Amino acid sequence: MYLDKTILNNTVIVCPYLNPFKLKGPKSREMNSSDVNFSLLQNQLNVPAEFFWPEKDVAPSDGDLDLPVIDLSGFLNGNEAETQLAAKAVREACMGHGTFLVVNHGFKSGLAEKALEISSLFFGLSKDEKLKAYRIPGNISGYTAGHSQRFSSNLPWNETLTLAFKKGPPHVVEEFLTSRLGNDRQEIGKVFQEFCEAMNGLIMDLMELLGISMGLKDRTYYRRFFEDGSGIFRCNYYPPCKQPEKALGVGPHNDPTAITVLLQDDVVGLEVFVGGRWQTVRPRPGAFVVNVGDTFMALSNGNYKSCYHRAVVNKEKVRRSLVFFSCPREDIVPPPELVESKEASRQYPDFTWAQLQKFTQSGYRVDNTTLHNFSSWLASNPDKKST
């Protein structure tokens, strides 16, 4: 994923762009989101070459991934015995592949379903209406199709609506959408604002559970660490694709952010790379997928694994997903007890979010060795440690 940033309420927010290929050499032709019309492309028998991916990246899934389903009800209700059981399951998943499912997560009944419905409403608007929310280069928030304003090859087969979130007031998600789409579309902003606030609350709960799962003396360490952070909300829309064996909705990548919470609809698409093969994460009604990102891997001193994943496309069906990325505050420093004991050794240097963002924009392709290579980059560029 490549990162873009903007300023929101005097806070730098970095945005992950879900395409791990940085453009090299001249563009074959200039494109932007107004050039990509999936309502036409999805009916073509031959996918344009710009959307082809290398064979290794489109290798088929080798079965389903059996993920733990973490029931959060006991933790949220203060039941210590159930909390410890949930924490144990989280620890095992995060040390293995960095992903798990959560149910009974405290969301208001019907909110998740309503948000998916509203995403369909937005992506069902005319092309001209969607382009009212066009993402201006250099900003986070806005609509894109195929990320074609940034890349000319290995394009993702998707449309996205990305929205910067910061706990308010002001209600930045609602205000952005209303300002772009007009008062006639206020419901879109209102529902997405409510969904983001609920997601942010869930992130805080998950951060505390992650602290418990690591046995921290201060179980609220990560919750407090992220209280002043920000978030990025993304709606993904994957149209049908006549050649799904050649295209990808999102290419293989690790999220550079801390943790990602994902709501899938009922169409298969998310796949995780485990044990040298791609495995499918099947949708489960009422469940969210939680993925560990690179930043949290650093905050855990390497104990928890960043999840390497992708999104495939379907020949006949539309697929939708709603994603919330948690972004840390500036300094990335793990809890002292994870790096100061006799048994522990420091896996990554102290760094800032701005440094990681600069590294991932410097031409390096984000993958499952990003933090190792980033640490080497910092060591070979001592002046970068103070920037």
Whether residue 319 lies in the annotated active site: yes
Within 10 angstroms of residue 243's Cβ, the number of other Cβ atoms is 17
Terminal CA-to-CA distance of the chain, rounded, Å?
22
Buried/exposed 261-273: b ≥16 CB within 10 Å, e otherwise: bbbbbeebbbbbb
Kindly report the backbone phi and psi dihedral angles of residue 4, in degrees, each rounded to the nearest multiple of 5, phi listed first.
-125, 160
Q: Which of 319, 329, 346, 365 is catalytic?
A: 319
Cα gap 106→344, rounded to integer Å: 36
Residues 6+ positions from 71 with CB-CB distance below 8 Å: 82, 86, 102, 103, 104
C-alpha–C-alpha distance, residues 181 and 176, integer Å: 9
Kindly report the number of other CB atoms within 10 A of residue 318's CB atom.
Answer: 17
Tokens 């919470």 belong to residue: 261
Which residue matches tokens 């990325």?
325
Looking at the chain, the number of H-run helices and the number of E-run strands are 11, 16
**Annotated catalytic sites, by residue?**
319
